[in-house]
A and B are shown apart, each in its own frame.
Chain A
């Protein structure tokens, strides 16, 4: 198979993009860990630029992974199967809720 197989179909490209999100996100977390070991913060313009690159990858991972929940999780409520749309919606609600709480804490604890 030619090395360019993943550029031939949109579906293949999106699949590779989804798997690739792991790399920038891993580097971002390792940078966070490295920053903790330093006396003063290493989070400057370079980190901001790198984070701007990472954010779309993070959002793409969140979007694809939480959408998958609809086909993985099967629940029954009052003997009726919960529709996958409800499960996916609850995953996205959890994501938004957690983001609001964490965002609030990240700002609140700065004082």
Chain B
């Protein structure tokens, strides 16, 4: 249950080092990709989420301040806003997927280590990206 066990880069790094000993080493590109997305998701969520939750989730709905409306076609139609929302909504799911899968492992669900679980959790993150792109492209036409 030490934190080290949950960092994919270290696990991948160890495996790669073992592979290097017998001359069959190849770059652990898949590990690099998932570790990179895990880290990026964590950064995006850490830096962007609290202010969105505070303003759009709490102060706006409670009527304490007037916040931007995502139903204003001038706002949601803007390509920069769409790109920003794609990053804000979709990228953190690569982080969440990894954390929730290992939380299940730590709670004694060995099935969460299986290939199927990896497909479900990381595939789910990919699905959220596709869904977000679909929603952003279909809800309001792109306008400048």
- Residues of A near any B CB (own CB < 8 A): 1, 3, 5-6, 12, 15-16, 19-23, 25-26, 28-30, 32-33, 35-41, 43-45, 47-48, 50-52, 54-55, 58-59, 61-62, 65-66, 94-95, 98-99, 102-103, 105-111
Contacts and interface: CB of A to CB of B under 8 A. Distances in A.
Contacts, number: 151
Contact of A110 (B47, B66, B89, B92): B66
A48 B57 contact: yes
Interface in B30-70: 42-43, 45-58, 60-62, 65-70
A21 B98 CA distance: 12
Interface in B114-144: 128, 131-132, 135-136, 139
Is chain A's interface secondary structure helix, strand, loop, or mixed overall?
Answer: helix
Contacts of A99: 47, 50-51
Contact of B56 (A5, A6, A38, A43): A43
B55 to A, nearest CB: 5
Query: Chain B contact residues (Cβ within 8 angstroms of A): what range?
Result: 35 or more
